[in-house]
Amino acid sequence: MKILLKTAALGLAVFATAATAGEWPEKNINLTVGYGAGGTTDSTARVLASLLEEELGSTVTVINKPGGGGSVAAGLGAAQKPDGYNVFTFTTGAAVLSPHTQELPYDTLTDFTFISQYGAWNLGVVVPADSPYQTFQDLVEFAKSNPGEISYAIAGTGTPQHLTMERLAAEEELDWKAVPFKGGAASVTALLGGHVDVMAGATEWLPQVQSGEFRLLAIITGARMDQFPDVPTLKDLGYDIEAPSILGIAGPKNLPEEAVQRLDAAIKKATESEELQSIIDKLAMKMTYRNSADFEQNVRENYEIQGEIIRAAGLGK
């Protein structure tokens, strides 16, 4: 009888091992970030990667592939084997803006598996503290009177801040020059060094605004920031313009459902952690969790809305 019990127990143990051996993930995961090191996307993604490692039990390696406002990373992501081991940060410009303004090696609506959205940005326009522009209206008036003299830094072409500045230029008949960099941190450096006159971007500028080195003129996303309640949005200033904001994780189309479910659950848990909330707060961003289905719906809706806006503004490809 003892021999039978031992044999049965051994058989159950072998069965359990065989059942778990095929569970995803079975190897390390690569998370490609579409912007350079030190920016808001990179900083949040690195914290997220660490939390995913804890939850999934596999190493998650962050790989920076900046360029095209995140579209370089998206193009690489679309071409990966659909096994869940190569995912990327899918951000506003690459997802819902650039596809309407330039030819890309992917189709937002058909080439990806949407896993989770975990964040959104506050975007603003800043100038050096010693700049003559005290208000956004001052900047616009100078640009009107001095065509071609204002240059502004952006974290890549096709980003929400780029489209917003171009829409403003079209509405106000301005001639100002976009200077794209491979991330927000590089844009801050350019403004600090006097290589550009203005920066339009995410809150990589926050430390310099808080220290008094930069002046925040306007918020170009939809709502005023809690940290700067007196700084107007573009809508406050009379413009019917609001930059969209999406930060999520996606992979190539046809990812296994198990991989999507495990990643989504792990990301959801990360959005409930003190660690991710801390870096989101530090960067003055917004924690915005959406599951796979809701993330896809959000992208699809914004894709259509922004496409109409871009075509109406004459900025389409």
Domain ranges of the chain: 26-121+245-312, 124-219
Band of the pLDDT at 19, cuts 50, 70, 90?
Answer: very low
Give the pLDDT score at 5: 43
CATH class of the region 124-219: alpha beta
Higher-pLDDT residue of 316 and 13 is 316
Q: How confident is the model at residue 81 (pLDDT cuts 50, 70, 90)?
A: very high
| Strand 214-219 to 286-290 pairing | unpaired
Window from 20-24, 85-89, 194-198 with minimum mean pLDDT: 20-24
CA-to-CA distance for 188 and 139, rounded, in angstroms?
18
**What count of Cα atoms within 13 Å lies in the side-chain half-sphere of residue 282?**
12
Write the class of the CATH domain 26-121+245-312.
Answer: alpha beta
Task: Check: CB of residue 270 under 8 Å from CB of residue 52.
Answer: yes
How high is the pLDDT of residue 16?
A: 39
Mean pLDDT of 167-189: 95
129 near 216, Cβ under 8 Å? no
Angle at alpha carbon of residue 160, lines to 305 and 316, rounded to 5°: 55
Q: Is 272 helix (H, G, I), strand (E, B) or coil?
A: coil
* Mean pLDDT calculated for residue range 109-115: 98
In angstroms, the CA 188 to CA 208 distance is: 9
pLDDT higher than 50, residue 14:
no
Its pTM surpasses 0.75: yes
Fold: same for 26-121+245-312 and 124-219: yes
What's the average model confidence in pLDDT over 217-225? 96
Q: What burial class does residue 38 get, using C-beta atoms within 10 Å of its C-beta: 0-12 exposed, 13-18 middle, 19+ buried?
A: middle
